[in-house]
């Protein structure tokens, strides 16, 4: 190609690329302004509650998943908003003091970062993982005191922890465990519950004990709900006069109206959960199997009792599947659904065993072993071969 043609081609490329770059820059700026105004209005125009609180998370009207709920801001859930939300999370919004309530500009800009974190989590977009993780692990970030109520604190890292639960990426589990140990935020527990992080259960119990979270009835109830949700168990409290006890563990007793019962329950479960799950499975599995073969309605009753130990019963089910019982495959699928590596209820025995071989580490629990001070014992894993 002659030098003249090369020059002409280069000029034509420039004439095409430069306008496109300018258009993209203008569009990006307009998009930023659009999303920025959506976020600002959602925060500034929100009516404060009686405690002077700007709500970012709302009470849970149901039970599952446990913990507060986030109501996404309309227009900030779309894919095009992700770069804007990442920038706000990292640097804060570019709102001037004139656009915000007098004397409270820094507060609302901080809220903007918290809301951006939650919106990113709600998006379930993979681009959000690294920016959220960076904020969670940033020790320089401090809580912000609510100027409307000095007793009220907003913590960006707590909201970011919750956002990682919303995002649903299992790679966040170990980081959330670390944050829970260091920061003690309930939002870390909510996030681990959403991720059904079975391997984090001992950490949740340990931190709750160390930080006296079980001393507060409200927190004790929520921690109990999170643990039951993760493990797929449903322990029932009974009471008589002034005494509470747990139906599944009659030896666990405490004064009525005291959150101590939940502390005692989970301390006991951490030591005896494996044993109790095995006892329940061994007792009711033959009855369930016989009722299933005969088509009896009682099979559902035996199934509920057989799986009363929840996730802790999985290794015993896998052992029977290895022996040839394909009827347990849908039961395993039901107990383990909701973590992104779901087993199909219609899977074959071979497919189920291969799935277990690849994913068992997510479902095996580190129970406290008897007689070993401070040591933990991982729940036994059947030979997948």
Q: Is residue 371 part of a domain?
A: yes
Say whether both 170 and 22 belong to one domain: yes
Say whether both 181 and 275 belong to one domain: no
Say whether both 316 and 173 belong to one domain: no
C-alpha 50/C-alpha 39 separation (Å) is: 23
Give the pLDDT score at 8. 45
Q: Is residue 227 part of a domain?
A: no
Q: Is residue 43 part of a domain?
A: yes
Give the pLDDT score at 338. 85
Say whether both 272 and 170 belong to one domain: no
Q: Could you say which of 161, 195, 229 is where a domain stops?
A: 195
Q: How far is CA 191 from CA 140, 174, 184, 185, 344, in A?
A: 22, 12, 13, 10, 25
Q: Which residues of 339-369 are buried (b: 16+ CB within 10 A; e: fewer)?
A: beeebeeebebeebbebbeeebebbbbbbbe
C-alpha 209/C-alpha 212 separation (Å) is: 5
Q: Could you say which of 165, 195, 225 is where a domain stops?
A: 195
User: pLDDT 10s per residue in the chain (385 long)?
Assistant: 565 555 545 544 444 444 434 334 444 678 999 999 999 999 998 877 777 888 899 988 766 789 999 999 999 988 999 999 999 999 999 999 999 999 999 999 999 999 999 999 999 999 999 999 999 999 999 999 999 999 899 999 999 999 999 999 999 999 999 999 999 999 999 999 999 999 999 999 999 999 988 889 999 999 999 999 999 999 998 888 788 888 888 889 888 778 889 999 999 999 999 999 999 999 999 999 999 999 999 999 999 999 999 999 999 999 999 999 999 999 999 999 988 888 999 999 999 999 999 999 999 999 986 544 444 556 655 554 4
Say whether both 151 and 286 belong to one domain: no
Give the pLDDT score at 378. 60
Task: Give DSSP secondary structure letters for 251-317.
Answer: EEEEETT-THHHHHHHHHHHHHHHHHHHHHHHHHHHHHHHHHHHT-TTHHHHHHHHTTTGGGGHHHH
Domain count, the chain: 2
Q: Is residue 206 part of a domain?
A: no
Contacts for 181 with CB less than 8 Å, ≥ 6 apart: 203, 207
Task: Give DSSP secondary structure letters for 78-113.
Answer: SGGGHHHHHHHHHH-----GGGS-TT-HHHHHHHHH
Q: Is residue 253 part of a domain?
A: no
Expressed as residue numbers, the domain containing 91 is 12-195
Q: Could you say which of 195, 221, 250 is where a domain stops?
A: 195
Say whether both 281 and 184 belong to one domain: no
Q: Smallest Cα–Cα separation from 361: which of 332, 343, 381? A: 381
pTM of the prediction?
0.88
Q: Smallest Cα–Cα separation from 287: which of 305, 275, 273, 272? A: 305
């Amino acid at each position: 190609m002659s030098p003249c043609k090369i020059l002409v081609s280069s000029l034509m490329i420039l004439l095409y690329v430069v306008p496109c770059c300018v258009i993209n820059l203008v569009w990006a700026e307009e998009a930023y302004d659009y999303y920025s105004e959506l976020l600002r209005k959602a925060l500034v125009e929100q009516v404060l509650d009686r405690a002077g609180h700007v709500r970012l998370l709302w009470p849970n009207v149901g039970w599952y998943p446990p913990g507060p709920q986030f109501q996404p801001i309309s227009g900030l859930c779309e894919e095009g908003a992700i770069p804007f939300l990442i920038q706000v999370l990292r640097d804060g919004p570019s709102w001037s003091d004139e656009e915000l309530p007098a004397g409270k500009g820094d507060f609302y800009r901080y809220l903007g970062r918290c809301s951006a974190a939650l919106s990113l989590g709600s998006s379930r977009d993979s681009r959000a993982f690294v920016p959220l993780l960076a904020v969670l692990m940033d020790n320089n970030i401090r809580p912000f005191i609510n100027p409307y109520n000095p007793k009220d604190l907003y913590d960006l890292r707590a909201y970011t922890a919750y956002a990682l639960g919303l995002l649903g990426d299992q790679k966040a589990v170990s980081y959330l465990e670390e944050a829970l140990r260091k920061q003690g935020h309930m939002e870390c527990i909510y996030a681990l519950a959403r991720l059904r992080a079975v391997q984090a259960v001992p950490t949740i119990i340990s931190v709750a004990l160390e930080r006296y979270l079980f001393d507060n009835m409200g927190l004790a109830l929520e921690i109990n709900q999170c643990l039951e949700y993760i493990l797929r168990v449903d322990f029932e409290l009974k009471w008589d006069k002034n005494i509470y006890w747990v139906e599944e563990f009659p030896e666990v007793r405490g004064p009525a109206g005291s959150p101590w019962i939940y502390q005692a329950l989970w301390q006991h479960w951490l030591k005896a959960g494996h044993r109790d799950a095995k006892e329940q499975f061994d007792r009711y599995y033959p009855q369930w199997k016989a009722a299933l073969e005969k088509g009896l309605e009682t099979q559902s009753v035996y199934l509920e009792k057989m799986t009363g130990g929840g996730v802790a019963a999985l290794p015993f089910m896998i052992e029977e599947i290895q022996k040839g019982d394909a009827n347990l495959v849908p039961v395993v699928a039901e107990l383990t659904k909701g973590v992104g590596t779901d087993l199909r209820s219609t899977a074959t025995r071979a497919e189920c065993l291969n799935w277990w071989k690849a994913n068992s580490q997510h479902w095996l629990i580190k129970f406290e072993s008897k007689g070993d001070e401070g040591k933990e014992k991982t729940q036994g894993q059947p030979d997948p071969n």
